Amino acid sequence: MPRKFLVVVDDSPEFEAALRFASRRAKSTGGRVVMLRVLPTDSDAHWSGVREEIERQQRQEAEILLNRLGEEAQNRSGAAPVFLIEKGEAQAAIKKVVAADPEIKILVLAAGTSSRGPGPLVSAIIKQGAQIGGRKLPVTIVPGELTEDEIEDLA
End-to-end CA distance of the chain: 20
- Of 28-37, 51-60, 122-131, the range with the lowest mean pLDDT is 122-131
Quick one: pLDDT at residue 109?
A: 92
Per-residue pLDDT at 2: 79
- Give the pLDDT score at 49: 72
Integer-rounded Cα radius of gyration of the chain: 16
Q: pLDDT value at position 129?
A: 62
> Which pLDDT value is given to residue 96?
93
**DSSP for 71-110, written as a single string:** HHHHHHHSSPPEEEEEES-HHHHHHHHHHH-TTEEEEEEE
Calculate mean pLDDT across residues 106-124. Answer: 79
Mean pLDDT, range 40-53, rounded to an integer: 72
Helix ranges restricted to H, 13-147: 15-29, 48-77, 90-100, 120-128
Amino acid at 109: L
CA distances in angstroms from 62 to 74, 84, 87, listed in the order given: 17, 9, 11
- For residues 58 and 46, the model is more confident at 58
CA distance 125 to 80: 27
Q: What is the pLDDT of residues 81-104, one digit of tens each?
A: 999 999 999 888 999 999 999 999
C-alpha distance from residue 41 to each of 26, 59, 91, 104, 112 (Å): 31, 12, 14, 25, 24
- Count of C-beta atoms within a 10 Å radius of residue 137: 19
Residue 106 has pLDDT above 60, yes or no: yes
Mean pLDDT of the chain: 87
Specify the pLDDT at position 45.
55
